[in-house]
């Protein structure tokens, strides 16, 4: 019997050389909604299939809850094997403190410079010429997701842009619907505001304020109009008493709400619920007014572990995340766009195709995380929560917002 077992084990080890050598890596992230969990499972599956072992470290409550936990584990001497951040400035201090693994050799061996598109994704992983993260997606936060059922119930057509959405709100309310679903977490109202900025004030104003950091434009009439529009929109969201973004998406999926301003990751939820783009729901990038994508997204960073085996596994995982197969499997479930253009996305749904078209058109802007520090982002998130959840005067909110931006100059 013993001999038989040994023989079986030997045969297995010949067939699968990595048996017994699997290196465990704990991977932290904040992907806990149905669609997100399905997407991250693709990363785990690929890592395990390649012979290592993904130990899932999901942290519930969204990025705002997860990031401080991740950062304090890394700075406090309890680092994980890999961790999600939005690439940009969220992990910058950790990199500068020398706590993150340098992935430049992985990037060079796999030609990341030639394949990652747009190049700003890799630039955001680069500090002093060295690469510290593996980008996994481009996500675009500025979409309006609409429930076709809610509009059918109200007997009115599905809006084709933000202005029509605003005009349709009274009819939705009369039909007992919440016009705009919005979760209570700070980043959600900040995201909605950012999307409305582009929709109402246009891309040029957005760039002047956020890229060129023109504080006169920030304090000017165009932005005042955005704050006024946001004050109108908050009335539509007054009855949306949910916390998490996916609970708000669920109000749209079930037809209780007309729409939600949310990132492309909402697609994952519609997909898990079995809904079909165009039939059950409608997606309007740039709120149907200015179709563009912001080129931030998610990336994985690998804290230094002082363990050669683990370091080798970290590099294997980094390479795998950027590989064509994993890019396709992950992004189809996530609803985000791949970070490389050389892969087959025939299976993309209608909304993802719209995203791919915008990407090809080059109508791209950086994300908030790429142009503002985490501190400025946090101040604006706090302000937006106060603004959206109270009757704060739009002029007062505008003035405070300009101060917040100035603190980051």
CA–CA distance, 240 with 172 (Å, rounded to integer): 14
Q: In the range 273-302, which residues lie near ligand GAL by CB under 6 A?
A: 298
Stretch that binds ligand GAL, among 29-37, 89-97, 110-118, 279-287 (CB under 6 A): 29-37
Establish if 42 lies at the interface with ligand GAL (CB under 6 A).
no
- Tell me whether residue 263 or residue 286 sits nearer to ligand GAL (CB atom): 263
CB of 354 to ligand GAL, least distance (A): 18
- Contact in structure between 208 and 217 (CB atoms under 8 Å): yes
Q: In the range 103-162, which residues lie near ligand GAL by CB under 6 A?
A: 139
CB of 212 to ligand GAL, least distance (A): 25
CB of 218 to ligand GAL, least distance (A): 24
Establish if 29 lies at the interface with ligand GAL (CB under 6 A).
no
- Tell me whether residue 86 or residue 120 sits nearer to ligand GAL (CB atom): 86
Q: Is residue 97 exposed (0-12), middle (13-18) or buried (19+ Cβ within 10 Å)? A: exposed
What DSSP state is assigned to residue 374?
H
CA–CA distance, 306 with 290 (Å, rounded to integer): 48
**Among 25, 27, 36, 112, interactor with ligand GAL by CB under 6 A:** 36
- ω before 336 within 30° of 0 (cis)? no
What DSSP state is assigned to residue 301?
E
- Tell me whether residue 165 or residue 330 sits nearer to ligand GAL (CB atom): 330
Establish if 335 lies at the interface with ligand GAL (CB under 6 A).
no
**Among 57, 63, 194, 255, interactor with ligand GAL by CB under 6 A:** 63
Bridging pattern class, strands 82-86 and 298-301: antiparallel
227 sits in the region (left: phi over 0; alpha: psi -120 to 50; else beta) called: alpha
- Contact in structure between 279 and 221 (CB atoms under 8 Å): no
| Alpha carbon 243 to chain centroid, angstroms | 17
Nearest to 64 by CA among 83, 41, 34, 90: 90
Residues present in the chain in total: 409
Tokens 């202005």 -> residue: 163
- Tell me whether residue 12 or residue 60 sits nearer to ligand GAL (CB atom): 60
CB of 140 to ligand GAL, least distance (A): 10
Establish if 269 lies at the interface with ligand GAL (CB under 6 A).
no
What DSSP state is assigned to residue 19?
T
Pattern of binders to ligand GAL over 65-104, x per CB under 6 A?
---------------------x------------------
Establish if 265 lies at the interface with ligand GAL (CB under 6 A).
yes
Establish if 368 lies at the interface with ligand GAL (CB under 6 A).
no
Instruction: Give the binding site for ligand GAL (CB under 6 A).
Output: 30-31, 36, 62-63, 86, 139, 245, 263, 265, 298
């Amino acid at each position: 019997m013993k001999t038989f077992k040994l023989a079986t084990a030997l045969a297995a080890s010949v067939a699968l050389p990595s048996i017994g050598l699997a290196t465990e890596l704990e991977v932290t992230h904040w992907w806990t909604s149905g669609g997100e969990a399905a997407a991250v499972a693709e990363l785990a599956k690929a890592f395990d299939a390649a012979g290592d072992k993904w130990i899932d470290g999901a942290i519930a409550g969204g990025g705002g809850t997860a990031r401080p936990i991740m950062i304090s584990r890394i700075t406090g001497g309890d680092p994980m094997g890999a961790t999600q951040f939005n690439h940009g400035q969220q992990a910058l201090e950790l990199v500068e403190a020398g706590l993150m693994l340098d992935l430049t050799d992985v990037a060079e061996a796999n030609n990341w410079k030639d394949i990652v598109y747009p190049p700003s994704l890799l630039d955001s992983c680069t500090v002093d010429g060295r690469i510290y993260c593996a980008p996994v997606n481009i996500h675009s936060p500025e979409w309006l997701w609409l429930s076709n059922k809610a509009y059918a119930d109200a007997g009115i057509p599905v809006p084709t842009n933000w202005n029509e959405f605003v005009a349709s709100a009274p009819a939705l309310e009369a039909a007992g619907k919440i016009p705009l679903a919005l979760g209570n977490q700070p980043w959600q109202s900040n995201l909605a505001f950012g999307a409305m900025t582009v929709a109402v004030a246009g891309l040029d104003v957005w760039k002047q304020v956020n890229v060129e950091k023109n504080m006169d434009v920030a304090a000017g009439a165009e932005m005042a109009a955005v704050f006024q529009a946001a004050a109108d929109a908050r009335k539509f969201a007054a009855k949306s008493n949910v916390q998490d973004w996916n609970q708000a998406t669920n109000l749209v999926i079930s037809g209780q709400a007309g729409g939600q301003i949310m990132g492309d990751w909402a697609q994952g939820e519609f997909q898990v619920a079995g809904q079909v783009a165009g039939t059950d729901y409608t997606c309007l990038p740039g709120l149907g007014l200015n179709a563009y994508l912001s080129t931030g997204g998610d990336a994985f960073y690998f804290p230094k572990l002082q363990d050669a085996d683990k370091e080798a596994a970290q590099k294997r995982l980094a390479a795998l995340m950027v590989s064509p197969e994993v890019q396709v499997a992950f992004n189809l479930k996530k609803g985000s766009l791949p970070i490389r253009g050389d892969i087959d996305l025939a299976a993309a749904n209608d909304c993802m195709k719209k995203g791919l078209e915008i990407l090809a058109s080059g109508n791209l802007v950086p994300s908030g995380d790429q142009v503002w520090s985490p501190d400025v982002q946090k101040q604006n998130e706090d302000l937006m929560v106060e603004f959206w959840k109270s009757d704060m005067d739009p002029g007062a909110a505008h003035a405070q917002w300009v101060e917040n931006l100035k603190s980051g100059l």
